[in-house]
Amino acid sequence: MKLFAPAIRKTLAKRGTRYAAVGLLGFVLPVAALWAPSLPAPLAWALDLAAHWQWLFALFFLIGAGLACPHWGWRAAAFIPLAAIPLLTATSAREVYAAAGAPTFAVASANVHYSSDDPGVLLRWLETVAADAVVVMEVSPGYAAALQTQAQFPYSKVLPATGPFGIALLSRKPLSNVQVRQLSAGPDFITAQTEFQGRAVTVVALHTMPPLAPEYYLQRDRDVAAVLSEATALGAPAVVAGDFNASAWSSGLQTAQRLGFLRTTSLAPTWHSLFLGLMGIPIDHVLADGAWRRVSSERGPDVGSDHYPVVARLALVPR
């Protein structure tokens, strides 16, 4: 065995180097995506799709470094911290509010899958996190009927659908100026205002088309820009939540960042929920404009969907 150990270690090191190279190449994609607008649409689309999978690239890189360690020793181990590169290339998160005891506005987002008609698990979780406003996506007629029986959120706008684009906005406090509009790709989105700390605040429920083709990728980014611009034009502190079908490394959230809307939820994967989300990507977000600061956030439990829900607790910047 000792005779072959060096050869085996060398073979593993070669394979590990290939895996690590794949990971490093993947880490570059979010930076390359910044130039996507100047590229042909099919190439920009492919680049954006690949850039989503930063945690998978990090896994490839760590496996590669691990395979190389027996041969290269500490020289390979010294590169392991590079697996944290996705933390640096993700779009920015909203600043943390440091003042203790500040009142918070909790906004949750949950894609419940259109095959579901039982909101029980979701509602129990929402009660534990004391959500003030909730965006629910893929609301089927059966799910919508069940939502009508709950008393936790007495104010709502619910638009069920038989396919994946039913959507609802639930609130503990009255909703005003409720508007339903259609994205360029077809799905509805909801804009409404509610009250927090004596101020009107805007909440938008959004579910963009998945970028399954170059034209949908372009429409998604245009729709994100249009919705955020509309929310800003209302002149109140704004929060946009939902399934953006765009990760924190995607052009969709880069568009949001340019318009002043930053992530208040984490980089924990929200889709697909398979294997506890370990192979997934974060595409469900709560974005907030500059009137807000982030207090805390968390990913929720399995609610019987292929997505995990998220919640963000926000505080208004004092005027």
Q: Is this prediction's pTM over 0.85?
A: yes
Q: What is the pLDDT of residue 319?
A: 78
Edge-first strand order for the sheet with 155-159 is 155-159, 167-171, 133-137, 105-111, 310-316, 292-299
List the chain domain ranges.
5-89, 105-316
State the amino acid at position 78 in one-letter form: A
Mean pLDDT of 276-298: 93
Q: What is the CATH number of domain 105-316?
A: 3.60.10.10
**Banded model confidence at residue 61, pLDDT cuts 50, 70, 90:** very high
| Residue given tokens 């979780």 in the structure block | 125
- Is residue 2 over pLDDT 50? no
Question: Is 97 or 45 the better-scoring residue by pLDDT?
Answer: 45
- Is residue 37 over pLDDT 80? no
Mean pLDDT of 272-288: 89
Q: What is the pLDDT of residue 39?
A: 87
- Is residue 32 over pLDDT 90? no
Alpha-carbon distance 315 to 319, whole Å? 12
pLDDT in tens, 297-317: 999 999 999 999 999 999 999
Q: What is the pLDDT of residue 221?
A: 95
Mean pLDDT of 149-174: 96
Token couple for 84 = 């944290």
